[in-house]
Chains A and B, each alone.
Chain A
Amino acid sequence: MNQDPGGLMAALEHFAARVNGDARLRKMIADWERTIALEGSDGAGGGLRVSGGRVEVVDLPAEPDIRLRAASDILEGMFRGELSPTEPYVDGSLQVQGSQEDVLRLDFLSLMIWGE
């Protein structure tokens, strides 16, 4: 997997730009109000706020609705589209806290952007 020099925050900006630039994806999150925390095992961290049909990159939220924990390169890979969240989720290298439906929605969104 390629390591991005900009790190996790750059990957999150990349993800947010992809969602915000796609009318169909914005429709898919139109009703979704969530904060998402990304915690890298090396201490890297960041967050996403989904609100009003847009995604915004924020600092690591203290009380997120969804919390993702994994090695930083896994988190970066996921939000850069180089890695599906399914694989690390199934093999246990990605830990997820949050409602199952929220997790699935995040998974579907990333696959709609980068699947195939």
Chain B
Amino acid sequence: MARRLSVVSVSLGSSRRDHRVEVEAGGCIFSLARVGTDGDLDRAEERIRALDGTVDAIGLGGIDIYLEAAGVRYEVRDGVRLRDSARTTPVVDGSGVKATLERQAVEELAAEGVVGRGTPVLLVSALDRFGMAEAFAAAGCALACGDLMFTAGIPYPIESLEELAELARKVLPQVSRLPFGMLYPTGEAQDRPPDARFADAYRRAEVIAGDFHFIRRHLPERMDGKTVVTNTTTAEDVADLARRGVRRLVTTTPDMGGRSFGTNVIEGMAVAYLGVRPEEIGPADMRRALSSLGVRPSSRLLEVNGA
């Protein structure tokens, strides 16, 4: 009989995006659920305490435990607090999956010729996915990282990994101690209509990549012919991207029951499947686990004016 494993993602995001699905993978049946807490950190902590010991893995959505750049890891105060509120069940933020699947997604785009030398890429935030930034840079893309733009409204794209690492060194030791809701749209902020403040940066790019809530935050009305590389998209999000003219949607996590879950859910699946603590899993183990589970990025062409 197939092993049954349960993964719950506790998210600081809007509860409007909650989702539950059962999937078969790697000879197991996974029950996957996403529970939004509308930006309420205390509620998220309570949910994690209640889930602790009752599920196989807990994912953290809408928040990171670590931010990383150029081999240096910075703990996010609120993320650590949530992780530490579970005593027995492993808690993961998806950073291990980001470092493997997102890199793989970009490498596949490069192999297909979708990106290459000089392709203008807007990576809305790179400090939560440095591996993706490295992969775009390795493919020769003209990278613009929007960390300052999308987090603090500063109209300054970061155009090299060296400058990104400098930013991380200067800013992250302090900024990672701020309430996470100041840095990232949580709760109802995720449901606000986009404002097209950085429309020029979107217009210049052929590929817009990174966290979907950041992408959506300043999404312009027209995105004709663009490629979007992201995850956590719902069917409604995909329809909206198609309506705006997005040509290709690459989700770094696979579609499950009509939406792509966050990397934290996929990492939860891997941890539950391997039955080990997250800190015991190296990149090679993660790659093997994801391969056994059949988890890989997916790419699809969208029909203009319809999903």
Chain A positions near chain B (C-beta within 8 angstroms) = 24, 27-31, 84, 86-87, 89-90, 100-101, 103-105, 107-108, 111-112, 115-116
Contacts and interface: CB of A to CB of B under 8 A. Distances in A.
A90 to B, nearest CB: 6
B152 A101 contact: yes
Interface residues of B, number: 18
B74 to A, nearest CB: 12
Contacts of B170: 111-112, 115-116
Contacts, number: 56
B171 A108 contact: yes
A116 B169 contact: yes
Contacts of A30: 155
A89 B169 contact: no
Contacts of A27: 155-156
A103 to B, nearest CB: 8
Given A100-B182, A108-B148, A115-B170, A86 B175 contact: yes
B148 A86 contact: no
A98 to B, nearest CB: 13
A104 B151 contact: yes
What's the dominant secondary structure at chain A's contact region?
helix
Contacts of A105: 152-154
A31 B174 contact: no
Nearest to A108: B152
A108 B177 CA distance: 13
B178 interface: yes
Given A84-B174, A115-B170, A28 B151 contact: no
B174 A28 contact: no
Contacts of B173: 115
A28 B169 contact: no
Contacts of A101: 152-153
23 contacts: A27-B155, A27-B156, A28-B148, A28-B155, A28-B156, A31-B155, A86-B174, A87-B174, A90-B177, A90-B178, A100-B182, A104-B151, A104-B153, A104-B183, A107-B178, A108-B151, A108-B171, A111-B174, A111-B175, A115-B169, A115-B170, A115-B173, A116-B170
